[in-house]
Structure 1
C-alpha cells in the first residue's frame, strides 16, 4: 500500500473534470460535503456512504493501560472515538 495521497484539491479537480463545474465551484462542493460529514460526526450521527464506508462515533469506557517504558499502570479515561468501516 504505498503511493500517492488523495487530497481535497485532487477531489476538487476530479469533480471539475467529471461534473463540469468550475474549479471554484468544485472546490466549494468538496468542502461543503466534507464539512457536512464532519458536523454529523460531531453531533454523534452515523454517516453512511453507500458502497464506500460508514463513519460512526462510539464511546469507550475507562480502562487501565500500561506505560510501555516503565510498566506502570495508567488509567485511560472514557472517550469517544470515530470508527471507519
Structure 2
C-alpha cells in the first residue's frame, strides 16, 4: 500500500473527503518525524511505538576495494510493533 492508497483507505474508513484524509496523513508523518527528531518516542497503544535507536560507531568494509572503513555512530528511526498489531498479523 502506498501513500495515495492509504489516504483512500482512511477516507473510506473515517467517512471524510480524500483531501482531509491527505492532510491528516501528512500531519501525522510530520508530527512523528518532529517528535523523533527531538529524541522522544510516539506510542500508539494497540499499534506500536516509533522510537529512535542509537547505532554505535563500527568498522565496515568497502565492498569494491575490500578496505576497512570507519562508520560513524548514528541515530536511526525505528518501529516496535505492539502486541495487538502482532496478534492481528499472525
Q: TM-score range by the shorter chain?
A: 0.7 to 0.9
The structure that is helix-richer by fraction is 2
Task: Give the equivalent residue in structure 1 for 2:43.
Answer: 48
Shift of 1:42: 1.3
Regions of 4+ moved over 6 Å: none
Q: Distance in 1 between matches of 2:31 and 2:47?
A: 17
- In the other structure, the counterpart of 1:71 is 66
Matched, 1:18 2:10: no
- Normalising by structure 2, we get a TM-score of 0.74
- Quote the RMSD (CA, aligned, Å): 1.6
Q: CA deviation at 1:25?
A: 1.1
- Give the structure 2 partner of residue 3 of structure 1: none
Report the TM-score when normalising by structure 1. Answer: 0.78
Which consecutive unaligned segments of at least 5 residues does structure 2 have?
81-90
CA shift for structure 1 position 51: 2.3
Cα deviation per residue 1:21-69 (whole Å; 9 max; x = unaligned)? 1221111111111211111111111122222222211222222111223
Select between 59-68 and 73-82 the one with higher mean Cα deviation: 59-68
- The correspondence for 1:28, drawn from 17, 23, 26, is 23
Equivalent residue pairs, number: 80
